Amino acid sequence: MRFRHMFYLAIIFPVLSGCEAVFTEQPLGEEIRILDVETWQGTWLSNGVVLMTTVIDAENGVMQAAWLERGEEGARTESYTGFVRQTGDWVFLNMEHQPEEAAEDLTEVPDKDSQENASPEYFWARVENDGRRVILWWPNTDEMRKAINSGKIPGIVKEDKDVQLAPLESQHLELINAPGSNLLNWAEPDVFIRIAD
C-alpha cells in the first residue's frame, strides 16, 4: 500500500472499502526517537506528492505531515500527526487512527470516560531518514497474515482482512525487519526527496 494511500486510510478509513492494513494497539518501537529538526522537518517530493513535515515535539518524537488535496470544491490542506519510535537501529513512523467501530456514531459528543477508554490503532512503517531522503517500507499485509496464521507473529486477522498485531517482543521485531521474511514491502518503498527546508 502506497504512502499516500496509508494517510488516506488513517484519515478516512471508515468510508473506504477494499483497502487492507496492518496496525498495532500501541506505537511500534520500544523507545521514543528524539527528532533532530534539521533532519525531520522539511518539504519532500515523491511521485507528484509534495509533503511538508513539521516537528511538533522533538523530545517525544512527535511530528506532523501536511499536503494538499485536490477535490471537487478545490484544493484543501490535509494533515496528520505521527509518532516516531525506535528499537535499536530500526526506526518506525506510527500514525494514530480511531478504530472504525469508535467512529461509526459521530452524532453525539462522547463523554470524558468514553474518550479515555477509546483505544486508537496505529498504522506504521519502517523509516530511514538521512536528512536528504526519507524511505518508508510499509507492512506486507499478505505476508503478515501468513505469519500470524502460522504463529510466527502474534496477532489476529479480522473479518475485513485487516491485521491487528498483538504486543511484539524483540524476536518478532527482528523477524519483521529481516528482508528474507518479506513482512515489509522491501521491493516497493515510498521514497521522498527533500526539496526545501
Task: Summarize pLDDT for 20-64 with one digit per residue, the tens.
Answer: 789 999 999 999 999 999 999 999 998 888 999 999 999 999 999
42 found inside a domain: no
Rounded to the nearest angstrom, the gap between the alpha carbon of residue 100 and the centroid of all alpha carbons in its chain is 16
Task: Summarize pLDDT for 127-152 with one digit per residue, the tens.
Answer: 999 999 999 999 999 999 999 999 99
161 found inside a domain: yes
Segments forming the whole domain that contains residue 29 = 3-36+82-190
* pLDDT for the residue numbered 115: 45
What's the length of the chain? 197
Average pLDDT, integer, range 71-100: 87
48 found inside a domain: no
60 found inside a domain: no
45 found inside a domain: no
65 found inside a domain: no
53 found inside a domain: no
Count of beta carbons in the 10 Å neighbourhood of residue 145: 19
**Reduced to 3 states, what is the DSSP secondary structure of residue 180?**
helix
CB 122 within 8 A of CB 97: yes
Q: Taking the alpha carbons of 30, 64, 197, 75 in that order, is the dihedral positive or negative?
A: positive
49 found inside a domain: no
What's the domain count of the chain? 1
Count of beta carbons in the 10 Å neighbourhood of residue 33: 21
What percent of the chain clears pLDDT 70, i.e. is strictly above it? 80
Which DSSP letter does residue 1 get? Answer: -
